[in-house]
């Protein structure tokens, strides 16, 4: 019998341009052969393939063609769609070290159609555990898998579940932490938008394992599409008997609801998140007691982030040993990263733990944008640190990143080149943490502001040598005395940039220079007389009339009046203004 297929077309992986011409020709060829009921053409957002021209993936055969042109379309339809043959000359030769576990369905299924999820073993893990596994068996499989929390802390998932299960309380809760707020991070958002049922299935399984009857998805209100698709997925799951009373005909009852976060970064911390759901101000509370013992409304509560929960179903379906075979000795499985910054292919990637930063940047990311020299990679968002170029061959796992002065975090990864100033980078992340601090504890509230003032002074060329020692001293105090993870890790970008790039701080302090030309207060604008055409454009655009002279004698910049706005530099068409 003729087998149903989908053709999935992505954007041009070299330029990002739409593939509408090729998509239209595919659809025309399919209609011409009266195959509309057997073949569907979809323009996928991404298949995690780069620099391979237009890519076509054919399911369920799992055939991927790269560098496809309009001239190849008739051949693909005739030989692959109609005859089921592979065209060797067009086959994509995989070179990237990616492994899709969490992102297994993203870009492949219709996230608004539960039938697509079911067709790819969706809810099969739930059916398996409800018929064959006790809650203890589920936790044992999680222990065997070695899965650690992907929200940043890296705490063993099975242990958190086991603590909650051991509590005698009748009422227990499962919470999905989807309060993703790191600059440059979009992992959780992409999973919820691309495969919401994988997260729901993970939460239902967690509920069964610990004895919970209710769960909440705490999602940032800034993610409207993710919220819409999660709400739709919840209704679809209820309609299929996968949520609510007597799931799949068993005596297990579990339901889910959505709570929206108002965009407070601190609510990513477990106790602050719980306070927010309870209708209180999102402020952290001292621990212990931990949420798994005393959480939402005083009941045992398991809190896992989106990526952690999306791993649950494949682990239970394929077994803990399978998952443990991926990654390193202490960091099992894969990790999703949002690869951004000065990289040729900004994208969402998923790699086995133990992959090196160099492999990620060059093999997957396509190298640094415009073939510039890489300076550092920042991981872990505002709580992380920078890793310099000479350490890029380090394997990525929880322990190694911590040794380098950074953290895994939720998965932000920003590539920086020589045009990035490390003082400016540290100031940016610290400003974020100061803005997002709840203000409850003095080490974070006062210490963060003090450090930001020092960094601002240094970036303006007004710093002193003792400022470096002051930054280090305040950092240690914040790390030791802050109430929650936000305050404890806020100094990390400052500490790591000082550790690896202290010379840049000294350049700002001693020589009043920013070699990366990011700190505008340290710019000195000058007019190069040999290049100046005396067009008066710079003088006419200067907002403070700091450019003296005329067309007869030429022009100079009065440094006493110059506010370093850079307008003269921007408008000059002859590169006669230097800084």
Share of the chain above pLDDT 90, in %: 73
State residue 82's pLDDT score: 87
Indicate if the pLDDT at residue 51 is higher than 70: no
The SS3 of residue 37 is coil
Question: Is-cis flag, bond preceding 425, omega within 30?
Answer: no
pLDDT grade for 216, boundaries at 50, 70 and 90: very high
The answer to whether 254 and 247 are in contact (CB under 8 A) is: yes
499 and 557 fall within a common domain? no
Could you give the dihedral angle defined by the CA atoms of residues 26, 31, 37 and 38, in that order, rounded to the nearest 10 degrees?
-50
Give me 532's structure tokens: 């100046």
Are 144 and 277 in a shared domain? yes
More confidently predicted of 47 and 336: 336
Helices (H), 211-355: 224-239, 270-277, 306-318, 320-324
Residue with tokens 């920042």: 378
Distance of CA 109 to the CA centre of its chain: 21
> Within this chain, do residues 33 and 128 fall inside the same structural domain, yes or no?
no
Say if 83 falls within a structural domain: yes
pLDDT for residue 421 is more than 70:
yes
Contacts of 1 (CB under 8 A, 6+ apart): none
Give CA–CA dist 386/363, Å, rounded.
20
Domain end (from 417, 443, 473): 417
300 and 436 in a single domain? The answer is no
- Asked if residue 416 lies in contact with residue 377, where contact means CB atoms within 8 angstroms, the answer is yes
Say which residue the tokens 């003729």 belong to.
2
Q: What is the mean pLDDT of the chain?
A: 91
Q: Which residues of 402-413 are buried (b: 16+ CB within 10 A; e: fewer)?
A: eebbbbbbbbbb
**Of 68, 12, 4, the residue nearest 36 (C-alpha):** 4
Q: For the segment 567-579, what is each residue's pLDDT rounded down to a tens digit?
A: 999 999 999 999 8
Q: Name the nearest CA neighbour of 484 among 452, 449, 447, 443.
A: 443
Average pLDDT of span 339-344: 92
Determine the average pLDDT of the residues in 482-487. 93
Section 410-422 average pLDDT: 93
pLDDT at residue 148 tops 60: yes
Q: Are strands 374-379 and 334-341 parallel, antiparallel or unpaired?
A: unpaired
DSSP-derived 3-state class of residue 546: coil
Q: For residues 59 and 311, what is the distance between their CA atoms, to the nearest angstrom?
A: 23
Q: Do 503 and 540 reside in the same domain of the chain?
A: no
309 shares a domain with 274:
yes
Number of C-beta neighbours around residue 512 at 10 A: 15
The 10s digit of each residue's pLDDT in 149-196 is 998 778 999 999 999 999 999 999 999 999 998 888 889 999 999 999
Minimum mean pLDDT range among 2-16, 118-132, 222-236, 448-462: 2-16
Would 104 be classed as within a structural domain? no
Domain assignment present for residue 103? The answer is no
Following DSSP, what letter does each residue of 434-464 receive, concatenated?
HHH----SHHHHHHHHHHHHHHHHHHTT---
Sign of CA dihedral 113, 118, 120, 124: positive
Question: What per-residue confidence (pLDDT) applies to 52?
Answer: 77
77 and 51 in a common domain: yes
Indicate the pLDDT class of residue 7, thresholds 50, 70 and 90.
Answer: low
- Identify the CA nearest to 517 among candidates 412, 418, 449, 430: 418
Same domain membership, residue 140 and residue 61: no
Percent of the chain with pLDDT over 70: 94
> What CATH number does residue 338 fall under?
3.10.20.600
**Whole-number Å distance between alpha carbons of 497 and 189:** 29
CA-to-CA separations, 461 to 336, 546, 565, in angstroms, rounded: 39, 21, 16
When computed from its CA atoms, the radius of gyration of the chain, rounded to whole angstroms, is 27
In the chain, what is the greatest distance between 2 CA atoms, to the nearest angstrom?
A: 93
pLDDT band at 43 (very low <50, low <70, confident <90, very high): low
Judge whether 235 lies within some domain: yes
Alpha-carbon distances, residue 320 vs 33, 327, 332 (angstroms): 46, 13, 10
Name residue, tokens 């005393």.
294
Residues 6+ apart with CB under 8 A from 266: 272, 282, 283, 284, 436, 437, 438, 484, 486
Q: Residue 337 in contact with residue 413, Cβ under 8 Å?
A: yes
Phi, psi angle pair for 289, to nearest 5°: -75, 150
CATH number at residue 546: 3.30.70.20
Is 495 within a domain?
Answer: yes
One domain, residues 533 and 548: yes
Alpha-carbon gap, residue 448 to 430, rounded angstroms: 7
Domain annotation covers residue 329 = no
Q: How confident is the model at residue 2 (pLDDT cuts 50, 70, 90)?
A: very low
Kindly tell me if the per-residue pLDDT of 23 is higher than 90: no
Domain containing 483 equals: 422-510
Residue-by-residue DSSP string for 488-553: HHTTHHHHHHHHHHHHHHHHHHHS---TTS--GGG---EE-TTT-----HHHHH-TT--EEEETTT
Q: Tell whether 372 and 502 lie within a shared domain.
A: no
Q: What is the CATH number of the domain that holds 204?
A: 3.40.50.11540
Last residue of a domain, one of 510, 533, 559: 510
**Each residue's pLDDT tens digit, 500-558:** 999 999 999 999 999 998 998 898 899 999 999 999 999 999 999 999 999 999 999 99
Q: Are 142 and 209 a contacting pair, CB within 8 Å? A: yes
Instruction: Give me the number of domains the chain comprises.
Output: 5
Looking at per-residue pLDDT, the higher value among 487 and 23 belongs to 487
Q: Where are the beta strands (DSSP E) in 306-407?
A: 334-341, 347-352, 374-379, 385-388
- CATH code at 477? 1.20.1440.230
- Answer whether residue 107 is part of any domain: no
The CATH number that applies at residue 69 is 3.40.30.10
pLDDT at residue 42 greater than cutoff 80: no
Residues 389 and 491 grouped into a single domain: no
In a domain, 566, yes or no: yes
* Domain identity same for 261 and 229: yes
For 240-284, what is each residue's pLDDT tens digit?
999 999 999 999 999 999 999 988 999 999 999 999 999 999 999
């Amino acid at each position: 019998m003729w087998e149903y297929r989908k053709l999935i077309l992505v954007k041009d992986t070299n330029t990002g341009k739409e593939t509408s011409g090729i998509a239209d020709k595919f659809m025309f060829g399919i209609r011409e052969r009266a195959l509309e009921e057997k073949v569907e053409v979809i323009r996928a957002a991404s298949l995690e393939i780069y620099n391979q021209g237009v890519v076509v993936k054919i399911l369920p055969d799992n055939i991927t063609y790269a560098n496809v042109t309009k001239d190849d379309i008739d051949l693909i339809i005739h030989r692959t769609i109609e005859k089921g043959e592979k065209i060797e000359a067009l086959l994509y030769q995989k070179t990237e070290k990616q492994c899709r576990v969490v992102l297994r369905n993203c870009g492949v299924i219709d996230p608004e159609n539960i039938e697509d999820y079911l067709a790819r073993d969706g809810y099969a893990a739930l059916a398996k555990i409800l018929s064959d596994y006790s809650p203890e068996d589920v936790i044992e499989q999680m222990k065997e898998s070695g899965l650690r929390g992907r929200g940043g802390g890296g705490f063993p998932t099975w242990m958190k579940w086991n603590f909650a299960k051991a509590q005698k309380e009748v009422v227990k809760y499962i919470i999905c932490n989807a309060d993703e707020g790191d600059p440059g991070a979009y992992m959780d958002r992409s999973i919820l938008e691309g495969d919401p049922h994988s997260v729901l299935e993970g939460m239902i399984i967690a509920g069964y394992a610990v004895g919970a009857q209710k769960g909440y998805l705490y999602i940032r209100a800034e993610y409207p599409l993710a919220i819409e698709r999660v709400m739709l997925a919840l209704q679809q799951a209820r309609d299929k008997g996968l949520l609510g009373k007597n799931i799949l005909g068993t005596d297990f009852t579990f339901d889910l609801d959505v709570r929206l976060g108002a965009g407070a970064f601190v609510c990513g911390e477990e106790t602050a998140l719980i306070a927010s759901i309870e209708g209180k101000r999102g402020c952290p509370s001292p621990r212990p007691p931990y949420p798994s013992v005393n959480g939402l409304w005083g009941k045992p509560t398991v809190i896992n982030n989106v990526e952690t929960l999306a791993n649950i179903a494949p682990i239970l379906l394929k077994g803990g040993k399978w998952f443990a075979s991926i990654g390193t000795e202490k960091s099992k499985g894969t990790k999703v990263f949002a690869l951004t910054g000065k990289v040729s292919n900004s994208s969402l990637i998923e790699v086995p733990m133990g992959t090196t930063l160099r492999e990620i940047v060059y093999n997957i990311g396509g190298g640094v944008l415009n073939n510039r020299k890489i300076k550092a990679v920042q991981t872990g968002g505002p709580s992380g640190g920078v890793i310099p170029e000479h350490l890029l061959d380090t394997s990525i796992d929880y322990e190694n990143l911590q040794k380098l002065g950074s953290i895994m975090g939720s998965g932000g990864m920003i590539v920086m080149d020589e045009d990035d100033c490390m003082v400016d980078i540290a100031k940016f992340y610290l400003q974020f943490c100061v803005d997002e601090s709840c203000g409850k504890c003095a080490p974070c509230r006062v210490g963060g502001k003090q450090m930001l003032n020092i960094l601002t002074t240094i970036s303006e060329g007004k710093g002193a040598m003792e400022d470096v020692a002051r930054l280090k001293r305040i950092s240690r105090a914040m790390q030791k005395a802050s109430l929650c993870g936000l305050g404890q890790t806020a100094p990390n970008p400052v500490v790591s940039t000082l550790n690896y790039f202290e010379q840049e701080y000294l350049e700002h302090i001693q020589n009043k220079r920013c070699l990366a030309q990011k700190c505008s207060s340290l710019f000195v604008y000058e007019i190069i007389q040999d290049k100046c055409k005396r067009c008066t454009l710079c003088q006419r655009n200067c907002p403070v009339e700091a450019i003296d002279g005329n067309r007869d004698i030429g022009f100079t910049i009065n440094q006493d009046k110059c506010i370093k706005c850079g307008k003269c530099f921007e408008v000059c068409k002859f590169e006669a203004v230097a800084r």
